[in-house]
Structure 1
Amino acid sequence: MESSAAQSPAAVCLVVLTDALYLPGTRKLLESWDAWHPRLPVVALSVEAAVLEDPWLVARCERRVRIDPAPYADIQTYKKRHSRRHAQTFFKFEAFGDFGFERNVFLDSDVLCLREASALLAPGAVSLRAVLDSGFRKTRAYKGHAIEINSGVLSIGSRIQGAATIARLQALARTSPGRGGYNAGDQGIVNKWIAADGIDVELLSPDYNLIKKDYTDEAGLAECRLLHFAGHKPWIGRQRNDGAAVALDPLERLWGGTAD
């Protein structure tokens, strides 16, 4: 394992957002993280009460928090086809809650830990650590900002934790909704908040959030710490039109184990 001057485990918690669809991913994420790090407290967030009673989550998580969907009910989402999925992403704002730790390390449930990721745990006063979104492309509707991060991996300092930050993000989502693409879900709002409020961000190297939609693309894998399955989710089976199973791509096969 990589040696580092990381904070003591008591100073940091892992935060995950899950539901019935993503629960297998949440479990694999946490198992892969535990393989490379000292055991950290886990806070599981979900709008689904039944998911929070999953026996594996109950055993692994120090806190299980049911999200109240009411404050999100009036947040509008992009209406075109395939965009209703963005409505659930706004619940990620709850990862900025104050759970009693110096840092909340939030990881999407389609992330797999392949190596130690100690920079997320490191001490320091910086408000936010994240990785630039490698897939970001400016559009006519959304030009982006000088810093355009991917919200799948976040290290959130105590300075920006709490109800005020969550309320601010919710307010931005209501008053400055996205029109599509990168601007449609939580990520667009988080980036608008960073730019509007001057949030200090420490950018981590791409190996801390290696985003892959093409799972035959193995570029960067040798150095990868956190692999982000941004396309089809590897725990969801695929079939051809004739019913036969589809062969797994190289990165999907990694879901069965971690790198050497």
Structure 2
Amino acid sequence: MSSERVIFTMSGKGGVGKTGVMVALAEWFTANGITAKLLDLDTENKARGSLKHFFNGSVTKVNIHTPAGLDAFVDHLDSGAEIILADMGAGAGQIAADWFEAMHEDVAALGVSFTALGVVTPDPASVESVLAWASRLQDRVEYVIVENATSPQSDFTYWTATEQAKKFREAFSPTILQMEFRLAELENPVRQHGIRLGDVAERKAKVEELKRASLVMRAQSYRRRLFAQFDQVKEAFLP
């Protein structure tokens, strides 16, 4: 197998920004000349908000409910990509944990590494979801946790101060990144139309409202700072 790392999102909590992080990560790989295979493992099969929505439907859909879907995932590891980016949908916790259990040992034996990407917000449910995943995954993966600010003054006290979260950080030493709050004038149309931040930053967005100079500059700023964080912890993302 030529692919050496699988990066997958964890969290059964919807609306925390997992797909947004994965889209940005895919853009970061492209900017660095690294081939990444994108897989949409969202069990809800929704049209909007999924990884496919942001890549013009070109992302491969894999149904991890079935043995055939599990086999398809493993086959994609042999596709020549250095990286597999697998976006799990909300509510896929048990299914995805079973998926991981089913394929981890054989795939890891081939030298493939795993990074579990979790997104936490000020909502305690987002933290609980990540911790529940970690209880199943244990030390078989590297952890990257993104603190996603959902308001200008986001309070991450539940994530930083609760005993269970502290024990998780002590046990697994996750890489922690911050994703700053984004203005609704930019974030809402980007999500609605499935437009990547890079397209706005590079003035390629075809949606009129996203052509405003101020939003282009904000997109450039958001992307630059997020890419800088990816650069600092690239060991967690590279083969």
Say which structure is richer in helix.
Answer: 2
TM norm structure 1: 0.35
TM norm structure 2: 0.37
